[in-house]
Chain A
Amino acid sequence: MKSIYVKKSLLHFSLIVGVIISLGPFYWMIVGATNPSGDVLSFPPKIIPGNYFIENLTNLSEAIPIIKALFNSALIAIVFVLASLLVCSMAGYAFAKFKFKGSNIIFSSFLLAMMIPYQATIIPLFQIFGALDWINTYHAVILPQICYPFAIFLIRQNMKGIPDSMIEAARIDGAGEISIFFKLALPTMKPALAAVGIFLFTHQWNNFMWPLIVMTSSDMYTLPVALSTLAGLNSVDYGQLMLGTAISVLPIMVVFLMLQKHFVSGILGGSVKE
């Protein structure tokens, strides 16, 4: 009995240390965001949140269009997720519920593309988008990844669970193929779509290299690009910088805390046990 108690305490102790390491940096971000730069960068450093939030926000907005960046990030992520969910679930449905010529070869090439790193595509993409005069546009960031093979794969796996007899019955009742997809297949997929949608949202919200390449004017920056630019300035103000970081981290963290089961099942490609 006593040994179980000791074991349990040790277990909790080591996990608490882990939690401090995991979450400590976020606490430090809040401390930085609410204090003047000088107070954070002092020896010993100030370790409790201050009341310099408004001043930091004013300075930050003057240094970089941070509210515009927040808007850009949100718009891009939301449009991307909706477009990608529609395109990928249509494809996933076709692969799961129809036998058609070319199905195998197309599906295998989608899977193969998952293994090829994006670096092999960015230079021609940049050339295409440059030639079309699409630099500094929202669709330059949104379009290239709408067809997201991993999402198609996950949706296909889930769509396989829809009984063929249900689809057949709808056909006999005279329903068209398109309405079967929207009115029958999609509604049964809500949990899977939520998981995939959150996965895609996080991916796009945190996307950095491609927006860095195609968003060159400061009013088109997404949050990661804006932050990176701010951090690269010669006279960097840490109060502003931490506030900007908090603005980019907190929305996704709130979404995560509300929907954390879906997050986890998104990366696991299916359901999750408690």
Chain B
Amino acid sequence: MENVSKKVQTNQYKGGWITPKTAPYIFILPALLLFLAFTVYPIIASFLLSFQTRSGGTYTFSGFDNYVRLFTDPIFYKALGNTFIILIVQVPIMLFLALLLAVFLNSKLLNMRGFYRVSFFTPAVTSLVAASIIFILLLNADYGLINYILTSIGLEKINWLTNGFWAKVSLIIVTTWRWTGYNMVILLAGLQNIPNDLYEAASIDGASPIHKFFHITIPQLKPVLLFCFVLSTIGTFQLFDEPYNLTSGGPNNATLTITYYLYNQGFNFFDFGYASAIAYVIVVFIAILSWLQFKVVKDD
């Protein structure tokens, strides 16, 4: 980079080739080269790889074999199912909580808004690995704080991380804890952009707070809510750090997600062709779901 700019400057003094016409190409070149090498090429290469299987040491073209294998692979269905369960259960719970907190924080009655916002956002700067590890300790079946609290109020201990159902619940708890504040901040900014006179006019008409919430807040917030939904959907399909560290995908694949399965196929079994096919299934699902969400909002 240093070299380039030096060379460019000396040329400039000679009245050289760096003019307002050529400058944008020079500015864009480093980004473009990195983009071609580390984004465009890999995207194409993995697409081609998804039609290849390894025999001996080399990959050879094998048509749709990897995709056919996917559709008859029970573990793939399990991983896909787990991902959808989290999508359907976790995302709405999280966005509901985030919206609730955002509405509370936007209330005119509230002071100390900054303190609350910082507190709720703090989990979002924590690495997912660290978050998962803290919760391994909190959710420990024999000695964890959460089971301690449960037994002190007369409830039974729960095998959070070793029971298939509760392991999913644990994963949902960690993900919600980590991401609610992040979404809250986005929603709060959206709320602050709703013009105040809409509420004032409704108040003059005698509308109740609940009525205002459903007839002003929600419709006005729709684009921002959509943004959060799309972001969370993409995030769910990429869920890896939490199940890897919290439960190792277990017990019995109960918390195996689709990206985790891709990782296992790619980097435990080194089956790059099959892993690439899984990657493209993820690409297709994210595209379809994002498109559906946009469509639902538009039709409304």
| Pick from A29, A117, A181, A202: contact of B125, CB under 8 Å | A202
The answer to whether A124 and B25 touch across the interface, beta carbons within 8 angstroms, is: no
The answer to whether B262 and A22 touch across the interface, beta carbons within 8 angstroms, is: no
Which residues of chain B are within 8 angstroms of A21 by Cβ–Cβ distance? 177
Q: In whole Å, how far is A154's beta carbon from the nearest beta carbon of chain B?
A: 14
Say yes or no: is A41 at the interface (Cβ < 8 Å to chain B). Answer: yes
Scan residues 225-251 of chain B and give those whose CB is less than 8 A from a CB of chain A: 234, 237-238, 240-241, 244-245, 248
Which residues of chain A are within 8 angstroms of B169 by Cβ–Cβ distance? none
The answer to whether B42 and A125 touch across the interface, beta carbons within 8 angstroms, is: yes
Asked if A120 meets B126 with Cβ closer than 8 Å, knowing A11-B110, A231-B136, A264-B185, the reply is no
Say yes or no: is A272 at the interface (Cβ < 8 Å to chain B). Answer: yes
The answer to whether A119 and B282 touch across the interface, beta carbons within 8 angstroms, is: yes
Say yes or no: is A233 at the interface (Cβ < 8 Å to chain B). Answer: no
| Pick from B104, B140, B186, B287: contact of A268, CB under 8 Å | B186
The answer to whether A23 and B119 touch across the interface, beta carbons within 8 angstroms, is: yes
Say yes or no: is B221 at the interface (Cβ < 8 Å to chain A). Answer: no
Which residues of chain A are within 8 angstroms of B27 by Cβ–Cβ distance? 90-91, 93-94, 98, 181
| Pick from A95, A125, A238, A253: contact of B38, CB under 8 Å | A125
Say yes or no: is A257 at the interface (Cβ < 8 Å to chain B). Answer: yes
Asked if A268 meets B148 with Cβ closer than 8 Å, knowing A23-B122, A115-B290, A227-B129, the reply is no
Scan residues 179-198 of chain B and give those whose CB is less than 8 A from a CB of chain A: 181-182, 185-186, 189, 192
Which residues of chain A are within 8 angstroms of B109 by Cβ–Cβ distance? 4, 7-8, 11
Say yes or no: is B5 at the interface (Cβ < 8 Å to chain A). Answer: yes
Asked if A124 meets B46 with Cβ closer than 8 Å, knowing A25-B135, A100-B25, A256-B122, the reply is yes
The chain A residue sitting closest to B241, CB to CB, is: A208
Q: In whole Å, how far is A187's beta carbon from the nearest beta carbon of chain B?
A: 16
> Which of A56-64, A170-178, A189-197 touches B?
A170-178
Q: In whole Å, how far is B299's beta carbon from the nearest beta carbon of chain A?
A: 21
A127 to B244, CA, bound (A): 23
Q: List 15 A-B contacts (CB under 8 A).
A: A15-B101, A15-B104, A19-B116, A25-B138, A45-B143, A113-B40, A117-B234, A119-B279, A124-B49, A147-B31, A178-B12, A245-B134, A260-B118, A260-B121, A268-B186
Query: A-side interface residues toward B, CB under 8 Å?
Result: 4, 7-8, 11-12, 14-15, 18-19, 21-23, 25-26, 28-29, 32, 40-45, 47, 86-88, 90-91, 93-95, 98, 100, 103, 106, 109-110, 113, 115-128, 143-147, 149, 152, 171, 176-179, 181, 202, 205-206, 208-209, 213, 223-224, 227-228, 231-232, 238, 241-242, 245, 248-249, 252-253, 256-257, 260, 263-264, 267-268, 272-274
